[in-house]
Structure formats: C-alpha cells, structure tokens
Structure 1
Amino acid sequence: MRATDILTLSPLRKHDDLALLALRLMVGAFLIWGVWDNIESPARVAEFETFLARHGFPYPGFMAPLSVWAQFLCGAGLVLGLLTRWAGLVCAINFVVAILMVDMHQGIRGAFPSACLVLIGLYLATHGPGRFAVDSLFGGGGKRR
C-alpha cells in the first residue's frame, strides 16, 4: 500500500456500492416511516392538510396527499434502487419546497434535516444507485467516476 493510499483512504473505494446501498436503505426507510401514518390514517392526512394551509400552501387538500405519496414512492424507489435518479430528484424538489415554505422560518437547525434530504436526493439523482439496485439490471446503476 502506498502512502497516498493511506492518506486518501482510496482503497475504501472498492466498497462504495455497499456504502451507497446503506445510504439508500436508510434514507428510503426514513422517508417511508415519515409518511406511513398519513397513509394509514385519513385523520393524519387531514392534520397535514391543516398544517399546509396554516403555512400558506395553495390547494392543501391536493398538496398533502401529493407530498405524502411522493415521499412514500421516493422511499420505496430508494430502498429497491428502482428509478433511483427520479426518486432522488423528486425527493430533492419535495424538500426544497419544505425548506422554502416551512423550515426556513425555523433557522438552520430546523432546516438542516430537509437540507440533508435535498443534498442526498441530488447526489442520488446525479450518481445513480450503485451496483446493488434494481436499476442496475437495466443498465441504470451508473458509474460514478
């Protein structure tokens, strides 16, 4: 092993697909968990509609289920590695809207989780899901370098 390998930790690159799988599984599961109560309960969706109306969203009766299902489908796509680039892009857009409409009023601490999801979504949209994904069966796993 060369000194530069030790300094840059470049041998870890051989595990990048595993790290990407772990990232996709964690974020995807989090997105699904975050909206599951809205999928199971019409009362929770109604609460979410009220929340959106209070924060000035147009058409909260339409936007609430749209956001819930977008988040759920993004989460499922990330877990499976299916349409991962699309899931990443939709995730990023969804959480940019969350930041602009709600989180920015809470300061950096309030906006940080959504900002992380924006950046993770953009990373997955631009880099793809890696080798351990349904997308890779169709040539969509993506080479990241």
Structure 2
Amino acid sequence: MVTLLKKHADFFIRGPVGFHLIYGSQDNVFSVERMQEFADFLANYQVIFPLVAAHISVYAQFICGILFILGKQIKWAALVMIINFVVAIGLVHLSDRYPQKFPAIMMLCSSIFLFLNSWGNLSAKQEMHV
C-alpha cells in the first residue's frame, strides 16, 4: 500500500504544474492574435524566428501539461520543459526581479524534480530499477 502511494505521490507536483502549463498556454493555442502577441514579445528579445519559437514553446507547454496530468511520458515531457524554461529564464527572465522570475524558476525546478523522481513512463527511477 505504501509503495502504491509513493508511486503516485508525484501527482501532487504533476497536477498543479500540468494545470499551470495548460492554463498559461491555452490562450495562445486557441487564439491566433494571442500567439502573434507572444511572437512579438519574443521578437523584442531578438529571438530568431519568433513566430516559430512562439509556436514551439506554447505547444510544448500545452502538450507537456497534458502529459504531466495524465502521467504519460513524464521523463520526456519534463526534459522538454527543462529546456523550455532554461531558455525562457536565460532570454526573458534573467533581468527580472525575483517575484516576476519565480514562476519560471518553479516550473524549471518542478520539471527537474519530475525528470529525476517520477514513476511515470520512462522515469529515471524505472531506468535505475529502484
């Protein structure tokens, strides 16, 4: 029983993080105007091909949020989010004050945790036979 509970304990990270990723990206997924606003925002930071970068980031967050909630391909979703938020922090949030930087830091740290500790498909624990 304890093992079963531990196996699914990561849901208390996956659930809120997944919800936040979906909530934060859904407006761009379902609105061309919002996606263009995000692309324009990225262009202000001299991102190459800002519309392509906007689509990649938004759809990655939306899909990975769904995968986190469903508990599917967690390691791969977490790896994608690690890359996404390292880039986001490095390009956009580096000069932000801490309160503005905090959500991106939490998404990065949560993704690192899920990559290393999740019991979902292809998790680090399964690969180490723990």
Task: Tell me, yes or no, whether TM beats 0.5.
Answer: yes
Instruction: State the partner residue of 1:93.
Output: 83
* TM superposition shift of 1:15: 4.4
Aligned partner of 1:9 in structure 2 is none
Looking at structure 1, the residues matched to 13 and 116 of structure 2 have their Cα atoms a distance apart, in angstroms, of 15
1:13 CA displacement: 8.4
Match for 1:142 among 118, 125, 128?
125
Moved over 4 A (4+): 12-15
Gaps in structure 1 of 5+ consecutive residues: 1-11
Give the aligned residue type for 1:116. M
Tell me the distance in 1 between the aligned counterparts of 2:46 and 2:90.
Answer: 11
Specify every segment of 5 or more residues in structure 2 that has no aligned partner in the other structure, as ranges. Answer: none
2-structure distance, mates of 1:123, 1:85? 10
**Amino acid of the structure 1 residue aligned with 2:89:** I
Q: Which has the higher contact order (CA 8 A, sep 6+)?
A: 2
- 1:75, 1:111 → 2: CA distance? 20
In 1: Cα distance, 2:43 partner to 2:11 partner: 37
- Aligned residue among 84, 87, 99 for 2:74: 84
Structure 1 residues 103-112 or 49-58, which shifts more? 103-112
Larger-gyration structure (1/2) = 1
Is 1:112 the counterpart of 2:102? The answer is: yes
If the length of structure 1 is used for normalisation, what is the TM-score?
0.78
Identical counterparts, % of pairs: 33
Deviations 1:69-125 (A, max 9, x none): 010111011001110001111111101111111111113222221111111111111
